[in-house]
């Protein structure tokens, strides 16, 4: 009686090699549509399997939803940027209409409060600038003395601009014309310079998280550059 032959060992195809071969032969399933209908793949959200067609539909729907979410994010960002541009434009135009530095400070406070929800500001200028004016500066402008200058420089910590917490004591010292918060607030401050030091601009909120340290200070720096140029321009016709 002849001996039965042992079954040949089952050969398993390497999945990566199969994937590579199919990628090189995308027309393999042309004319083999019945094979596509027989293929089963894992269901992405439940146990078991589903047809390849259902899985493709699910994946395409997920991609469409993701693309729609990304588009909505881009639209939201565009709407925010447009609104920010319009508010900044109105702010700068209002500052350009100021006839003197007190009017500049008042316009700055009004525009920042109405358009940027910044309830308190202070514009600290050195005595070398304010002494040349016919009247003492009016809030939110303040005369920069040594104590205020040292404290503002310490808060900046060697930077041009910065967002940081503002203690109640610092608020009372740096924004003496504005009601202080019960405990601590926050501020964005920037150094004003145009060839020479011109003081500091402080934007403050009683909300300690409003001007978080992680916030970008590009707007504050830009605003400081505009204000510094206007301070010099408004002083030159009378005292230049």
pLDDT in tens, 12-32: 777 788 778 878 877 776 766
- State residue 41's pLDDT score: 65
- State residue 9's pLDDT score: 56
- State residue 57's pLDDT score: 79
By mean pLDDT, which of 11-15, 68-72, 97-101, 141-145 is the weakest? 11-15
When pLDDT is cut at 50, 70 and 90, the band that residue 239 belongs to is very low
Q: What angle, 0 to 180 degrees and rounded to 10, lies between the N-to-C axes of helices 101-116 and 52-96?
A: 160
- What is the rounded distance in angstroms from the CA atom of residue 56 to the CA atom of residue 69? 20
> pLDDT higher for 62 or 51?
62
When pLDDT is cut at 50, 70 and 90, the band that residue 81 belongs to is confident
- State residue 16's pLDDT score: 82
Residues in a beta bridge with 197: 193
- What is the rounded distance in angstroms from the CA atom of residue 27 to the CA atom of residue 167? 70
HEC-encoded secondary structure of the chain: CCCCCCCCCCCCCCHHHHHHHHHHCCCCCCCCHHHHHHCEEECCCCCCEEEHHHHHHHHHHHHHHHHHHHHHHHHHHHHHHHHHHHHHHHHHHHHHCCCCHHHHHHHHHHHHHHHHCCCEEEEEEEHHHHCCCCCCCCCCEEEECHHHHHHHHHHHCCCCEEEEEECHHHHHHHCCCCCCCCCCEEEEEEEEECCCEEEEEEEEECCCCCCCCCCCCHHHHHHHHHHHHHHHHHHHHHHC
When pLDDT is cut at 50, 70 and 90, the band that residue 150 belongs to is very high
- What is the rounded distance in angstroms from the CA atom of residue 48 to the CA atom of residue 55? 12
Q: Is the pLDDT of residue 67 over 70?
A: yes
The answer to whether 211 and 203 have CB atoms below 8 angstroms apart is yes
- State residue 196's pLDDT score: 87
Q: What is the pLDDT of residues 87-115, one digit of tens each?
A: 999 999 999 999 999 999 999 999 999 99
Q: Is the pLDDT of residue 240 over 60?
A: no
């Amino acid at each position: 009686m002849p001996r039965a032959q042992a079954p040949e060992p089952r050969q398993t195809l390497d999945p990566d090699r199969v994937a590579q071969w199919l990628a090189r032969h995308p027309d393999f399933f042309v004319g083999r549509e019945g094979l596509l209908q027989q293929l089963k793949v894992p269901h992405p959200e439940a146990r078991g399997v589903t047809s390849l067609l259902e899985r493709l539909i699910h994946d395409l729907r997920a991609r469409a939803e993701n693309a729609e979410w990304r588009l909505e994010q881009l639209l939201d960002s565009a709407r925010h940027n447009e609104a920010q541009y319009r508010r900044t434009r109105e702010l700068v135009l209002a500052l350009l209409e100021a006839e003197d530095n007190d009017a500049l400070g008042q316009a700055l406070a009004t525009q920042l409060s109405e358009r940027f929800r910044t309830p308190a500001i202070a514009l600290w200028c050195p005595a070398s600038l304010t002494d040349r004016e016919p009247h003492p500066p009016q809030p939110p402008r303040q005369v920069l003395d040594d104590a205020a200058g040292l404290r503002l420089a310490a808060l900046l910590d060697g930077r041009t601009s910065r967002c940081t917490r503002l203690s109640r004591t610092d608020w009372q010292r740096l924004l003496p014309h504005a009601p202080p918060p019960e405990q601590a607030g926050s501020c964005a401050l920037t150094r004003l310079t145009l060839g020479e030091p011109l003081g500091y601009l402080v934007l403050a909120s009683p909300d300690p998280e409003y001007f978080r340290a992680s916030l970008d200070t590009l707007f504050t720096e830009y605003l400081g550059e505009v204000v510094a140029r206007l301070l010099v321009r408004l002083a030159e016709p009378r005292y230049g």
